[in-house]
DNA sequence: CGAAATGTTGACTATATTCAAGGCAAGTGG
DNA sequence: CCACTTGCCTTGAATATAGTCAACATTTCG
């Protein structure tokens, strides 16, 4: 699923790369308002980006899966405008903070890949914004489950029998979809009782894809896109 | 406010640039689902990106002001995942469809600028997502007015006496903030009667910035960032 | 084993939506 | 010049979706 990387690029990236890091679930990878925030590619595990209002209300912006490039936004602001937290144990591939510029200068193809990844993440945000702004609670949750399922399945087994690993808590789903915890719970149960999906033991199974897709109404051309990796 | 451009880059960009285009207000600049969508910098006027669900519900993703680079997302998908429509008369600077790659290859600094612009637009989307997901109607509208005011003021007069040109209809505000038209109207009147702002004759004045900022709760370091222009 | 996090549920409330009118201003065609 | 249309703004009443609050159950984990 990832585009192959030329050897020349690989060695250049190696030069800008710092030692891989392992972080346990729950670690704050980037704090809200942090300056000198790190820059890294997520190599394994799940994470999420979020913002918090003064009174504690929190919005999850999007979920990060392996291959996602994190910390780009800090290049356009003095301090990080959002937080990033590890949802599961993760492995990171951190880069020097000037790596974005170095990569653009020395390997335009990789620079283009970074732009590609930024545009791709923006497309995810667009879809989230539609959910939160215009979909009902049931539609939002159907959309989230489907999109995450497809992203995760594309990374591993495209048709997993036992479902995918699914580390989200209901609170996180609520914060991502702009709903209250109670309503999120009720809606999840509604869909589950209706036989649309099943969440159990930290795994998500899509039981009735047709029904979920009807609710979600997301454009999807079927085949997962080939994506660059930095 | 825009970063200066080196002559070498300017001439390279000129080579990739197609003739400037003028479009009247209301023109569809990119249709939802369109393939071979154009790529351009907005030179003057306002526009907006949006998505529509099957049943017609519409979400405005963000508003586009002069200097914004449009069409990047189409590079990561076969067809445009969103529509773009001109809100006022606009001037566009269209590029050849392969310009993104050409720019990265031939002028890494400009390639970096494109990445910068993508990351910057993503930051705007993040803020919108927080509004739609976690702010009350009054907070959403206060946030939108403030953010648009600052963006528009930064482009022209930083302290406009008569307010800024403000071409949004209430329906558009509603679609941007995930509210119904009726509630948007009521909320706008509420804020206006409370003396927070004033919209009249297509212009927006910020009457009580303190109160609006208290409602909006947006991070703002004061000085508008210097941004690249492609 | 106890504490903390997560999941579950009900009763009540509130915010925002829907529906349905009507007004006003600008543009159009007879 | 005046009906007529069209788009946008305005408003009220009824309704619905989702939020709040308050328990309690269950699981996880040290």
Binary contact (B115, A111; C-beta < 8 A): yes
A125 touches strand D (CB under 7 A): no
A29: pLDDT strictly greater than 80: yes
Give bridge partners of residue B144 from the DSSP assignment. none
pLDDT at B159: 81
Q: Does A219 touch chain B (CB under 8 A)?
A: yes
Helix (H) or strand (E) holding A193: helix A181-193
Q: Which CATH architecture has domain A136-216?
A: Orthogonal Bundle (1.10)
Q: What is the mean pLDDT of residues A16-27?
A: 96
Q: Is the pLDDT confidence value at A222 over 80?
A: no
Mean pLDDT of chain B: 95
pLDDT in tens, B66-120: 999 999 999 899 899 999 999 999 999 999 999 999 999 999 999 999 999 999 9
Architecture of domain B7-118 in CATH? Sandwich (2.60)
Which residues 195 to 224 of A reach strand D, CB within 7 A? 201
pLDDT score for A221 = 74
Given this chain, do its domains B7-118 and B136-216 carry the same CATH topology? no
pLDDT digits (tens, 9 = 90+) for B160-196: 888 999 999 999 999 999 999 999 999 999 999 999 9
How many angstroms away from the CA of A120 is the closest CA of chain B? Answer: 6
Q: Å between A189 CA and C9 C1'? A: 12
Q: Could you write out the DSSP letters of every residue in A1-55?
A: -BPP--HHHHHHHHHHBPPPEEE-TT-EEE-TT-BS--EEEEEES-EEEEEE-TT
A50 has a chain B CB within 8 A of its CB: no
User: What SS3 state is found at A174?
Assistant: helix
Average pLDDT over chain A, rounded to an integer: 95
Q: Where are the domains of chain B?
A: 7-118, 136-216
Q: Write down the pLDDT at residue B189.
A: 98
B82 contacts in chain A (CB < 8 Å): 126
Q: Across the interface, which of B51, B111, B178 has its CB nearest the CB of A126?
A: B51
The reported pLDDT for the residue numbered A202 is 94
Percentage with pLDDT > 70 across chain A: 99
pLDDT tens string A68-107? 999 999 989 989 999 999 999 999 999 999 999 999 999 9
Which stretch of A37-46, A143-152, A154-163, A203-212 has the lowest confidence by average pLDDT? A154-163
Contact between B123 and A177 using a beta-carbon 8 Å cutoff: no
pLDDT at A120: 97
Contacts of A130 in chain B (CB under 8 A): 51, 53, 59, 61
pLDDT at A13: 85
Give the pLDDT score at B220.
Answer: 81
pLDDT > 90: percent of chain B = 86
**Chain B positions in Cβ-Cβ contact with residue A3 (cut-off 8 Å):** none
Q: Of A169, A131, A163, A133, which is closest to residue A150 (Cα–Cα)?
A: A163
Three-state DSSP state, B91 = strand
Q: Alpha-carbon distance B80 to B38, whole Å?
A: 10
Say whether pLDDT at A224 is over 80.
no
Q: Is the CB of B181 under 7 A from strand D?
A: yes
pLDDT recorded at residue A6: 87
Residues B110 and B143: their CA atoms lie apart, in Å, by: 31
Q: What's the pLDDT score for residue A68?
A: 98
Contact A126 B177 (CB under 8 A): no
Among A57, A100, A134, select the one facing B59 at the smallest CB separation.
Answer: A134
Nearest by CB to residue B119, choosing from A53, A75, A108, is A75
Instruction: Please list every residue in chain A whose beta carbon sits closer than 8 Å to the beta carbon of residue B105.
Output: 108-109, 112
Chain D nucleotides covered by protein, CB below 7 Å: 7-13, 17-22, 28
Among A3, A111, A129, the strongest candidate for a mutation testing the B interface, having the largest count of B CBs within 10 A, is A129
Q: Distance (Å) from the C-alpha of residue B37 to the closest C-alpha of chain A?
A: 15
Rg (CA), chain A: 18
Closest Cα partner for B111 from A53, A113, A185, A4? Answer: A113
CA distance B20 to B219: 36
A200 vs B: CB within 8 A: no
Whether the Cβ atoms of residue A48 and residue A172 lie closer than 8 Å to each other: yes
Report pLDDT digits (tens) over A106-148. Answer: 999 999 999 999 999 999 999 999 999 999 999 999 999 999 9
Task: Say yes or no to pLDDT of B221 above 90.
Answer: no
pLDDT given at position B12: 87
Indicate yes or no: CB of A123 within 8 angstroms of CB of B81: yes
Distance from CA of B198 to the nearest CA of A (A): 25
At B21-50, the pLDDT tens digits run 999 999 999 999 999 999 999 999 999 999
Query: Is B195 in CB contact (< 8 Å) with chain A?
Result: no
Please say if the pLDDT value at position B133 is more than 90: yes
pLDDT for residue B145: 98
Mean pLDDT, to the nearest integer, of A150-172? 92
Beta-ladder partners of A85: A28, A48
pTM of the shown model: 0.95
Q: B192, B213, B12, B6: which is closest to B96 by C-alpha?
A: B12
- Residue B222 pLDDT more than 90? no
Q: What percent of chain A has pLDDT over 90?
A: 86
- A3 to chain B, any CB pair closer than 8 A? The answer is no
Which chain A positions have a beta carbon within 8 Å of B225's beta carbon? 76-77
Split at pLDDT 50, 70, 90, the class of B225 is confident
């Amino acid at each position: 699923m990832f585009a192959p990387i030329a050897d020349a690029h690989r060695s250049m990236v190696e030069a800008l790369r710092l030692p891989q890091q392992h972080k346990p679930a729950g670690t704050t990878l980037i704090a809200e308002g942090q300056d000198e925030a790190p820059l890294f590619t997520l190599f394994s595990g799940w994470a999420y980006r979020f913002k918090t209002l003064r009174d504690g209300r929190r919005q999850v912006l999007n979920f990060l899966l392996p291959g996602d490039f994190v910390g780009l936004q800090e290049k356009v602001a003095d301090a990080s405008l959002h937080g990033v937290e590890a949802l599961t144990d993760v492995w990171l591939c951190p880069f020097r903070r000037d790596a974005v510029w170095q990569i653009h200068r020395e390997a335009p193809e990789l620079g283009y890949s970074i732009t590609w990844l930024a545009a791709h993440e923006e497309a995810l945000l667009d879809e989230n914004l539609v959910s939160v702004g215009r979909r009902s609670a049931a539609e939002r949750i159907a959309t989230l489950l489907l999109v995450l399922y497809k992203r995760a399945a594309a990374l591993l087994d495209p048709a997993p029998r036992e479902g995918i690993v699914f580390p989200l808590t209901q609170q996180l789903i609520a914060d991502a979809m702009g709903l209250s915890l109670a309503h999120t719970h009720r809606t999840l149960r509604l869909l589950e009782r209706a036989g649309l999906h099943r969440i159990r033991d930290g795994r998500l199974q899509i039981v009735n894809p047709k029904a979920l897709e009807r609710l979600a109404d997301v454009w999807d051309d079927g085949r997962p896109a080939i994506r660059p990796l930095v």
